[in-house]
Amino acid sequence: MKLDEAKALVEEWLRSNGRARNGLLPLLHHLQDAIGYIDDAMVAEIASALNLSRADVHGVLTFYHDYRRKPAGRHVVKLCRAESCQARGGAAIEAAAAELLGVAMGETRHDGQVSLEAVYCLGLCAIGPNALVDGRPIARIDTAALDRIAADVAA
């Protein structure tokens, strides 16, 4: 992570949003959207920006599943593991996806090309199994759809 870039982002964000504590989650979202993850080296900067302790920021950063402390793969596949997708064969699709993409659930592939992550419900529960591929929703995933996803993330 380029620390200077992150610092500039924090400064800019403070100018329009102020230093109130309730800005912490929006600020973390803002940084992650721009840089892709929140480096541990940024914690002190964020803490001083919002007048919080480093422990406080670390606590919030590690509590929420969305925040990354390491960069994700170039492509992110989020596969739903919740009950409605399981009822439509989600477990088999999950196993097949891990096999096909060559990466275990919750991991990033060694070449950094793709991350496979669990998500608990996308709200598309009547047309599962579902996934978000780089933010794009895909429903009724079968083996053919998995092949298309694998081709997409190979690029």
Partner 1 sequence: MTRVFISADMASVALGADQVAQAFVDAGCEVVRTGSRGLFSIEPLVEVETADGRIGYGPVAADEVRTVLDGAHPNRLGDVAALPFFAAQQRFTFARCGIVDPLSMADYAAHGGWTGLDIARSADPQAVVDTVKASGLRGRGGAGFPTGIKWQTVLDAPGAEKYIVCNADEGDSGTFADRMLMEGDPFCLIEGMAIAAHAVGAGHGYIYIRSEYAFAVETMRKAIELSAARIAPFTLEVRVGAGAYVCGEETALLDSIEGKRGQVRAKPPLPALAGLFGRPTVINNVLSLAAVPFILSAGAEAYADVGFGRSRGTMPVQLAGNVKNGGLFEVGFGITLGELVNDIGGGTASGRPVRAVQVGGPLGAYFPPSMFDLPFDYEAFTQAGGLIGHAGITVFDDSVDMAHMARFAMEFCAVESCGKCTPCRIGSTRGVEIMDRIIAARIPEPAPPTARTGTLEKALYSRSPDRIDVSPGAQTALLRDLCDTMKYGSLCALGGFTPYPVLSALDHFPEDFGAPAPIPQAAE
Interface residues with partner 1 (CB under 8 A) are: 20-26, 28-29, 50, 59-60, 63-67, 82-88, 119-128, 130, 132, 135, 137-140
CB of 131 to partner 1, least distance (A): 9
CB of 79 to partner 1, least distance (A): 12
CB-CB contact of 76 with 127 (8 Å): no
Q: How far apart are CA 91 and CA 83, in angstroms?
A: 10
Q: For residue 152, which phi and psi values (nearest 5 degrees)?
A: -60, -45
Q: Which is nearer to partner 1, 41 or 64 (by Cβ)?
A: 64
Greatest C-alpha distance within the chain = 51
User: What are the structure tokens assigned to 32, written together?
Assistant: 């992650």
> Tokens 């759809």, residue?
145
Q: Which is nearer to partner 1, 111 or 134 (by Cβ)?
A: 134
CB of 78 to partner 1, least distance (A): 8
H helices then E strands: how many in the chain? 7, 5
Q: How far apart are CA 145 and CA 88, in angstroms?
A: 15
CB of 127 to partner 1, least distance (A): 5
CB-CB contact of 77 with 88 (8 Å): no
CB of 28 to partner 1, least distance (A): 7
Q: Which is nearer to partner 1, 87 or 95 (by Cβ)?
A: 87
Q: Which is nearer to partner 1, 82 or 101 (by Cβ)?
A: 82
Q: Which is nearer to partner 1, 111 or 148 (by Cβ)?
A: 148
